[in-house]
Amino acid sequence: MTTAPEFPRVHIATDHAGMELSAHLVGHLRAKGYEVLDHGPKTYDAQDDYPSFCINAARAVIADQEAGTAALGIVLGGSGNGEQIAANKVKGVRAALAWNLSTAKLAREHNDANVVAVGGRQHSVEEATAIIEAFLAEPFSNDERHVRRIGKIATYEATGEVVE
């Protein structure tokens, strides 16, 4: 028996290469008690342009967080690289490409990542599900060094100033 999820709202987006994994995750996470909002695509198109889907999911994570609602995001693709890049263009997003349990946990623990990117063509459904679950379950450590480093990134994002 699992405990209630710390982040009950999850925003998810994909490209055509991650649609099967996305459909699985939507059902799987809802069954675990998460509120999952799917930002698309709705139909398979091998020529789709994933940036809008991923940016919209990332924007929704930030909007929820700014409104005081606990939320995290998931972006999926063949490799997860382009989807991570797109999500990271949204101010306030810290999207991490996770390829195993350790990188998923460290993204949350050390970087307070609020979006995870996973490559649907890089993992079995079971592996990808475990990576996503590890990301969603891991809390941020709040260690001073990590808070300080994230603050420096946020300062650069907001002002263009590089803080030493």
Asked if residue 99 has pLDDT above 80, the reply is yes
pTM confidence score: 0.94
HSE-CB for 139 with a 13 A CA cutoff: 5
Asked if residue 4 has pLDDT above 90, the reply is no
pLDDT computed for residue 8 by the predictor: 81
Choice among 11, 39, 83, 133 that is catalytic: 83
Instruction: For residue 38, give the 3-state DSSP assignment.
Output: strand
Task: Taking residues 107-117, report their average pLDDT.
Answer: 98
Structure-token pair, residue 107: 């993204």
**Residue 110 annotated as catalytic:** yes
- CA–CA distances in Å: residue 136 to residues 46, 54, 140: 29, 18, 11
**Residue 83 annotated as catalytic:** yes
Q: What is the pLDDT of residues 57-92, one digit of tens each?
A: 999 999 999 999 999 999 999 999 999 999 999 999
Choice among 28, 110, 127, 146 that is catalytic: 110
Amino acid identity, position 153: I
